[in-house]
Amino acid sequence: MFFLALACLFAMTATAQQPQSKAQMNAQKLGTTLYLIENYYVDTADIDKVTEDAIVAALKELDPHSAYISKKDVEKANEPLVGSFEGIGVTYQLIRDTITVISPTAGGPSEKVGIMAGDQFIKIDGEDAFGKKIDNEYVQNHLRGKKGTKVTVSVKRGNNPELIDFEIIRDKIPLNSINAAYMLDNHVGYIKLDRFAQESTQEFKEAFAKLQSQGMESLIFDLRGNTGGYLKTAVELVDQFLEDNKLIVFTEGINSPRQEWRSSKSGLYITGKLVVLIDEGSASASEILSGAIQDHDRGIVIGRRSFGKGLVQRPFNLPDGAQIRLTTSRYHTPSGRCIQRPYEKGAEDYAMEMEKRLKNGEYYHADSIHFPDSLKFKTAGGRTVYGGGGIMPDIFIPVDTAYNSKLYTDLVRKGALNRFTTDYGLKHRDKIKAQFVDFEHFNKDFEVGNDLIDGLKAAAKEAKVDWDDEQFKHSEKFLLLQMKALIARNVWETQQYYQVMAATDPGIQKALEVLGNEKEYRKILTR
């Protein structure tokens, strides 16, 4: 047993060389406890679980972000950042307990054998693949797998009563971290980054080059909802915007001396106008980037105060393949601001932070946020910014009140909105593509009419959502646009969803306004 062996090793070392440290004494105590449980406890004890529970409990006492990851979960935890996984390559949704293909990954194994959007997987390796047992875990366990392995699927396509059998050889499937990259008008480009993954820098460079070739003069970089990722990637992306040898971020901890990261000469976009969008879901690497841009007066940060996750976790591998991600230091922006919000009142209080912000009115009114003078810092140009957790934007954008409708919340929460628009998009895909020459014509001319509203009402009834006409009226404009955007996503790609929603997105519209007014843009960066 690992802890007992460790305890014995510490004891022998202490006897031979020097008195035991507190860590050595406690390792011996823990090892002895586990030994006693295993050999003297009244019932059979799952000693592996007891050990894991002890580690988890110990880490919870430290801070909100130190964590234990079991051996079986290590690969899964790293997957979103590594940038790829191995499987059959489809985007899918579970519609009425059936795996329905939204789109096969371009060039992936499923597309190569002829899997099409709208196909329903009825059997996987001869086993029924529908019904209440089907969830996301089932899909991953049966369709993902090692590169080169085989899976057979039986597919229902359209009204064809006969199932079609496919043999698919699994392969490596890329996970893109950029959800959208397109021109908002003739001069302003837009890039939305979902996470700071291993390949994000290269994805950004390719997206930037595409937009630059289309005449981009200003850039909106959207980090809303981006929970972070690799520090290395954050530094590389900040590097694209700063002149040479500018401080990007530094870390410090009681056992970790100050370490700095600085920009190089290789930045792609060091002078053009820049807006960074953030919100309460922007964390960690997103805060490193937005904090550096703000501290160097390089661009304008628009949105709401970011999450406030500025603790650095270093991974330590355990002998059984499990991993401890231990907080070793704190992130600081170039001006010296600590990104991490306080957590001294405990994990429960920390977890309630977003609810407290809502209760205090922070999502709706910038003046509800108060910072003491002790948290005041200065940017390179002398502007006042504040520490104390998270990045406070230069321009505040309140939450859209259309989200407040209980009807809208229930339609999303119970899956009615997503299920109806997915069904509609798959059923009318060919008709929509025949009616509209391309997405641009769809975006300009497609309208959500009464037939779609009636269809949504029926979907709401099926999902046991109470339809309220007054609440619908409150959220109508936003809800209809959301329906159009979701249909566009199901007929084309994820990017088209964001293109439709941009028309009324308060953050994007404010960014366009500021970027279109040179005097106002410069004024914000110097006030």
Question: Would you say residue 189 has pLDDT above 50?
Answer: yes
For residues 302 and 220, give the distance between their C-alpha atoms in angstroms, rounded to a whole number: 10
Query: Residue 81: which pLDDT band, with cuts at 50, 70 and 90?
Result: low
Element (H, E) at 98: strand 98-104
Query: Residue 3: which pLDDT band, with cuts at 50, 70 and 90?
Result: very low
Question: Would you say residue 511 has pLDDT above 60?
Answer: yes
Q: Tell me which of 48 and 404 has the higher pLDDT.
A: 48
Pairing verdict, β 376-378 and 323-332: unpaired
Residue pair 190/220 in contact (Cβ under 8 Å)? The answer is: yes
Q: Write down the pLDDT at residue 102.
A: 77
Q: Write down the pLDDT at residue 121.
A: 93
Query: Residue 170: which pLDDT band, with cuts at 50, 70 and 90?
Result: very high
| Sequence-ordered list of residues with C-beta below 8 angstroms from that of 186, at least 6 positions apart, any chain | 215
Nearest to 299 by CA among 373, 369, 393: 393
Which range of 119-123, 296-300, 412-416 scores highest in mean pLDDT? It is 296-300
Q: What number is the average pLDDT over the span 210-236?
A: 95
Question: Would you say residue 195 has pLDDT above 80?
Answer: yes
Question: Would you say residue 92 has pLDDT above 90?
Answer: no
Neighbours of 209 (CB within 10 A): 13
Q: What is the 3-state secondary structure (H, E, C) of 352-413?
A: CHHHHHHHCCCCCCHHHCCCCHHHEEECCCCCEEECCCCCCCCEECCCCHHHHCHHHHHHHH
Listing DSSP states for 116-180 in one string gives -TT-EEEEETTEE-BSTT--HHHHHHHH---TT-EEEEEEE-TT-SS-EEEEEE-EEEE--SEEE
Averaged confidence pLDDT in the chain? 89
For 22-43, write each residue's pLDDT tens digit: 888 888 998 999 999 999 999 9
Alpha carbon distances (Å) from 103 to 4, 88, 224: 52, 12, 25
Residue 135 phi, psi (nearest 5): -140, 180
Question: Would you say residue 304 has pLDDT above 90?
Answer: yes
Question: Would you say residue 369 has pLDDT above 90?
Answer: no
Q: What number is the average pLDDT over the span 97-104?
A: 82
Q: Write down the pLDDT at residue 7.
A: 46
Question: Would you say residue 298 has pLDDT above 50?
Answer: yes
For 411-435, write each residue's pLDDT tens digit: 988 888 988 998 898 889 889 999 9
Phi-psi group of 127: left, alpha or beta (phi > 0 → left; psi -120 to 50 → alpha; rest → beta): beta
Nearest to 174 by CA among 102, 123, 93, 108: 108
For 458-473, write each residue's pLDDT tens digit: 999 998 999 999 999 9
For residues 161 and 172, give the distance between their C-alpha atoms in angstroms, rounded to a whole number: 33
Least confident residue range of 136-140, 393-397, 480-484: 136-140
Query: Residue 351: which pLDDT band, with cuts at 50, 70 and 90?
Result: confident
For residues 134 and 337, give the distance between their C-alpha atoms in angstroms, rounded to a whole number: 47
Query: Residue 219: which pLDDT band, with cuts at 50, 70 and 90?
Result: very high
% of the chain at pLDDT higher than 70: 95
Query: Residue 116: which pLDDT band, with cuts at 50, 70 and 90?
Result: confident
Query: Residue 19: which pLDDT band, with cuts at 50, 70 and 90?
Result: low
Question: Would you say residue 391 has pLDDT above 80?
Answer: yes
Element (H, E) at 278: strand 273-278
DSSP state of 270: S
Residue pair 393/278 in contact (Cβ under 8 Å)? The answer is: yes
Q: Write down the pLDDT at residue 1.
A: 45
Q: Write down the pLDDT at residue 348.
A: 79
Q: Write down the pLDDT at residue 18.
A: 60
Nearest to 50 by CA among 61, 39, 62, 66: 39
What is the torsion angle, in degrees rounded to the nearest 10, for the CA atoms of residue 110, residue 497, residue 412 and residue 511?
140
Question: Would you say residue 16 has pLDDT above 80?
Answer: no
% of the chain at pLDDT higher than 90: 56
Nearest to 268 by CA among 297, 234, 238: 238
Question: Would you say residue 5 has pLDDT above 80?
Answer: no
Query: Residue 79: which pLDDT band, with cuts at 50, 70 and 90?
Result: low
Q: What number is the average pLDDT over the span 141-150?
A: 90
Q: Write down the pLDDT at residue 80.
A: 65
Range 96-117 burial, b when 16+ CB lie within 10 A, else e = eebbbbbbbbeebbbbeeebeb
- What SS3 state is found at 308? coil
Q: What number is the average pLDDT over the span 299-327?
A: 93
Q: What number is the average pLDDT over the span 243-269?
A: 95
